[in-house]
Amino acid sequence: MERYNDTNTPMLALVGVVSTILLFALIVGLQVLYYALAEQDFERKVIQIPTAESDGILAEQEIQLTQYGWLDRAQNKVAIPIDRAMERVVADLQRAADKE
Q: How many domains does the chain have?
A: 2
Q: Are 82 and 92 in a shared domain?
A: yes
Say how many Å lie between the first and final Cα of the chain, rounded.
Answer: 115
The pLDDT value given to residue 50: 64
The pLDDT value given to residue 53: 75
- Find all residues with CB under 8 Å of 71, minimum gap 6, and list them: 77, 78, 79
The pLDDT value given to residue 71: 85
pLDDT in tens, the chain (100 residues): 566 677 888 899 999 999 999 999 999 999 999 999 999 998 888 777 667 777 788 888 888 888 998 888 999 998 899 899 999 999 999 999 988 7
Flag whether the pTM goes above 0.85. Answer: no
The pLDDT value given to residue 2: 61
Helix or strand run (H / E) with residue 66: helix 51-66
Cβ atoms 77, 69 nearer than 8 A:
no
CA distance 51 to 2: 75
The pLDDT value given to residue 100: 77
Domain range for residue 75?
A: 50-100
Q: Are 55 and 41 in a shared domain?
A: no
CA distances in angstroms from 42 to 39, 53, 54, 89, listed in the order given: 5, 19, 19, 45
CB atoms within 10 A of CB 75: 7
For residue 32, the Cα-to-chain-centroid distance in whole angstroms is 21
Q: Is residue 65 part of a domain?
A: yes
pLDDT digits (tens, 9 = 90+) for 67-81: 998 888 999 998 899
